[in-house]
Structure 1
Amino acid sequence: MMPDPSISNSVAGKRLPFYRVLYVQVLVAIAIGVALGYFYPSLGEQMKPLGDGFIALIKMIIAPVIFLTVSVGIASMNDLNKVGRVAGKSMIYFLVFSTLALIVGLVVSNLLQPGKGLNIDPASLDTSEVKKYIAAAHDSSLVNFVLNIIPQTLMSPLTGSNILQVLLAAILFGVGLSLTSEKSKMVIDFLHALSFPVFKIVEILMRLAPIGAFGAMAFTIGKYGIDSIVNLAFLVITFYTTSLLFVLVVLGAVAWYNGFSILKLLRYIKDELLLVLGTSSSEAALPSLMRKMEQAGCARQVVGLVIPTGYSFNLDGTNIYMTMAALFIAQACNIDLSLESQVVLLLVAMLSSKGAAGVTGAGFITLAATLAVVPEVPVAGMTLILGVDRFMSEARALTNLAGNAVATIVVAKWDKHLDEAQLAKALGAGTAPA
């Protein structure tokens, strides 16, 4: 098992004082950030470097964490067919639940119609603010996405930020180690030893989480203001409610069927959820989520394959957002989409959500890519939701994180790589083992 990179809520069996618990610190930092952004918006905007800096620090360590976890995990497997089996089951899970998330967004939008009554003339909309997203969408085709997975060299992904390139390099290196396990024993031992200082760095960086959450939240409230969501409050509330119900009902049913409680899992990963809430970035919690899933009884090779892949292919929150936002724009512009057009929208979204995966601002970019292929809905309508997209990105990231945590446990159980006793112990305690 990889070393523990988090700040445990107990030391030597003793409970930490509440003010030293990470999730309490993050909660307090978020509250202070909201207050600063609301009462002193200009000062709040100046806190942006704190949030950006923290996310940059976390991204700095993501590539080594994935490379070490995946390569050492695969090297320890006696049968490489297991790797293919885990990857195959992961992709089946991702396809099913990503599609289900798209359908949920479509159904809720048809039932509640959050955009009805706005009566917007598409010709009156200013598209200058969304041009960069439209341009990025043109470059996010499925072919470009697949080709972009291939790195320039085997080691170059370790200096980049493309998660799938790191994953590919780690898988290839792990396979090479597995096929030459006797001759490569010194390399495997070295990588295992290297994991200790790398995960120690993660522990150090996580101590900065409250500062990052404070800066990101102060900037968001200071720049966009709470008032910016009033006019589109129904859309925001509908999206948050739908995402919450998807996690509790849909993912809850999956969790129940597989023998664990979704509420206990959410409590177990509360540090990561609060970090994502504060920074609006699910990547900020990736290293510690991988560690927690492994400590919850999921095999290292499953964690190493499912979570990094899920960050690009299992974006439940983003998928709910895409169909819901597209139909909101159509309803706001009084465009009546037929069932056939909505099915086309759904199919296009299934592809575009993969094509822009892993790109900064992926939610908005995938929406632009989808609308560009569905002529009935004007791309200019994206300007209607630009002002509240930052607030909706938090729900997207939270749902994506919860979805990937559930996927890891389910795939591990399917492949008989789950220690169910350890899972029950971890979820029962609600915190990572010390």
Structure 2
Amino acid sequence: MTQQSEIAGSPTVERHACAKRKPPIYLRLGFQIVAGIVLGLALGFIAPKLAVDMKILGDIFLRLIKMVVAPLVFLNVVLGIAAAGDLKNVGRIGLRALVYFEVVSTIALAITMVIANFSGVGTGMHLAQNAQEAAAAHAQYGKGASTTLEHFLLTIFPDNFIGAFANGSLLQVLVISIGLGAALLMLGDQQRASVEGALNRMSDLFFKFVDVIMKFAPLGAFGSIAFAIGSSGMNAVISLGYLLLVLYLSLAFFVVVVLGIVLRLYGFNIFRFLRYFKDEIFLLFATASSESALPRFFDKLERLGCSRQATGLVLPTGYAFNLDGTSVYMPLCVMFLANAYGIPLDLHQQLGLLVLMLLTSKGAATVSGGTFIVFAATVTASGLLPVEGLPLLFGINRFTSQAVCICNAMGNSVATLVVAKSTGEFDPNAARNEYQRVFGTPIGKVI
């Protein structure tokens, strides 16, 4: 009895108990990010001029994140292909992913176009086109925005290895990664093992680097939110409040209902899935940039049971070809401009715009404002809508980006899970153990 008491009170047991004990709430990243958001909101309303100056904090954090995104995507795709073992397996995963991307993106566009027609966003604004404003808006947003199939295809393929990373072109980095991954599979076993080992060590190093950068996430969240409120106040929100309301409800419907049904078919519960990624969702909301949480999604999806090859191939490819939030945003804003300027769009024109949006939404930048850039490209390329309406939407771009990037990230996380399960690249025991570790409760059949 005495011996058992001694063992129970031994330093080893106490150390294990301390290791399992959760850190204080104020030391958790999620709490710190939320605190940064709240303080940023308060400063934006109390001292708007000072809040605008805080933009530098958000910009610095996003620059740090952008710095590591391209190398992380490169390393994860190459290692994902290497882990697949052969090009046939890579093609099997990639083909299923692309089919899934196109089906879900089309569903998002079609559903939102219907919502946009019935909601009547922009109706009653009676805006008139002004030649001077049109020219200024076109000069600011329309430059280089014209999108053709030829131009789109050319932008996919890089003409400079280093330039693709320097410019942060995700599509070009993907092309390089896929090509280099295929070349890696063609090497002899000894050469391949040494190269793969080096890439694995580099990947581990970059993830540790991300952990260091994430220490600054609360400051980035504080600066970004303070600037958004301090620069725009509530005027933009009130004037375009209905559009924001419809957009947020549409994005919530897509995530909870559409993605919820998809997850249910594969044995997952959408609400538990969202809870698992709650810290990343807070970070996305604060920074309005999908890139800010991308490294953490790589790590968490692997811990949730998705294999490295599935995660490394599907997740970064999804950020180029499966931007569900962007697909919800674009039809609503198209119909908003059409209704605001009294431009009737018949069924044929709307279908044509859907096809155009299916093209222009590919490769949308994952940085803050990327969705607005591809929307400007769509407006310019369509020739149907007034470009002078773009600054109007740009005024609330910060608030729309916050919700859109969350939907983009959740859509790609679900896509990774679905493709992993459908291709046998998923470990259900790992998923159950991870949920058990995070939530601390027994997991049922639907996890």
**Fold shared per TM-score above 0.5:** yes
Shift of 1:63: 2.1
Deviations 1:299-356 (A, max 9, x none): 1111111111111111111111111001011111222221111111111111121265
Answer with 1 or 2: which has the greater Rg. 2
User: 1:416 is aligned with what amino acid?
Assistant: G
Does residue 325 (structure 1) correspond to residue 295 (structure 2)? The answer is: no
Q: SS in structure 2 opposite 1:147?
A: helix
Match of 1:194 in 2: 202
What code does the residue aligned with 1:47 have? Answer: M
In the alignment, structure 1 residue 397 sits paired with structure 2 residue 405: yes
In the alignment, the residues of structure 2 paired with residue 130 and residue 21 of structure 1 have an alpha-carbon distance, to the nearest angstrom, of: 45
Matched, 1:30 2:37: yes
Structure 1 counterpart of 2:84, from 77, 80, 94:
77
Question: TM-score scaled to structure 2, two decimals?
Answer: 0.89
User: 1: distance between equivalents of 2:364 and 2:413?
Assistant: 22
Q: How far did residue 189 of structure 1 move?
A: 1.6
Tell me the distance in 2 between the aligned counterparts of 1:273 and 1:107: 27
Are 1:292 and 2:300 matched, yes or no?
Answer: yes
Q: Distance in 1 between matches of 2:83 and 2:53?
A: 48
Q: How many residues align?
A: 422
SS at match of 1:109: helix
Residues of 2 paired with 1:343 and 1:431: CA distance?
Answer: 45
Pairing 1:53–2:54 present:
no
Say which of 14, 19, 25 aligns to 1:12: 19
Partner of 1:337, secondary structure, is coil
Q: CA deviation at 1:226?
A: 2.0
Unaligned runs of 5+ in 1: 1-9
Two-structure CA RMSD over aligned residues (Å) = 2.1
Contact 2:289–2:367 under 8 Å retained in 1: no
Superposition map of 1:227-376 within 5 A: 227-354=235-362, 356-357=364-365, 361-376=369-384
Contact 1:299–1:412, Cα closer than 8 Å, also in 2: yes
Q: 1:211 corresponds to which residue?
A: 219
The equivalent of 2:130 in structure 1 is: 123
Once the two structures are superposed, what CA deviation does each residue of 1:243-281 show, in whole Å capped at 9, x if it has no partner?
011100000010101110111111111111111100110
The structure-2 alpha-carbon separation of the partners of 1:298 and 1:25, relative to structure 1 and needing over 3 Å to count, comes to same
Matches within 5 A, 1:408-419: 408-419=416-427
Corresponding position: 1:169 with 2:176: yes
Structure 1 distance, partners of 2:368, 2:44, is: 24
Q: 1:183 to 1:279 in 2, by over 3 A?
A: same
From 145, 160, 163, the equivalent of 1:137 is 145
The letter for the 1-side match of 2:97 is S
Q: What is the CA distance between 1:420 and its match in structure 2? A: 1.6
1:362 Cα deviation after fit: 2.7
For 1:165 and 1:83, how far apart are their aligned partners in 2? 18
Verify the 8 A CA contact 1:260 1:424 in the aligned structure 2. no
Distance 2:381 2:289 in 1: 27
Quote how far apart the aligned CAs of 1:96 are.
Answer: 0.8
From the superposition, tell whether residues 125 and 292 of structure 1 become closer, same or farther in structure 2 (CA, over 3 Å): farther
- Separation in 1 of the partners of 2:357 and 2:80? 33
Q: Residue type of the partner of 1:174?
A: G
Q: Report the equivalent of 2:51.
A: 44
The answer to whether the Cα contact below 8 Å between 2:320 and 2:363 also exists between their aligned partners in 1 is no
Q: Is the 8 A contact 1:329 1:377 kept in 2?
A: yes
Long gaps (5+) in structure 2: 1-16, 441-447
- After superposition, the Cα gap between the structure-2 partners of 1:208 and 1:345, relative to the gap in structure 1 and judged at 3 Å, is same
Partners of 1:285 and 1:249 lie apart in 2 by 23
What is the letter of the counterpart of residue 246 of structure 1? F
User: CA-to-partner distance for each residue in 1:81-132, whole Å, 9 max, x for gaps?
Assistant: 1101111111111111111111122111111102111111223782324532
Distance 1:365 1:274 in 2: 24
User: TM-score, structure 1 length as denominator?
Assistant: 0.92
Task: State the identity as a percent.
Answer: 40
* Distance across 2 between alignment mates of 1:430 and 1:245: 26
- Contact 1:141 1:356 survives alignment (8 Å): no
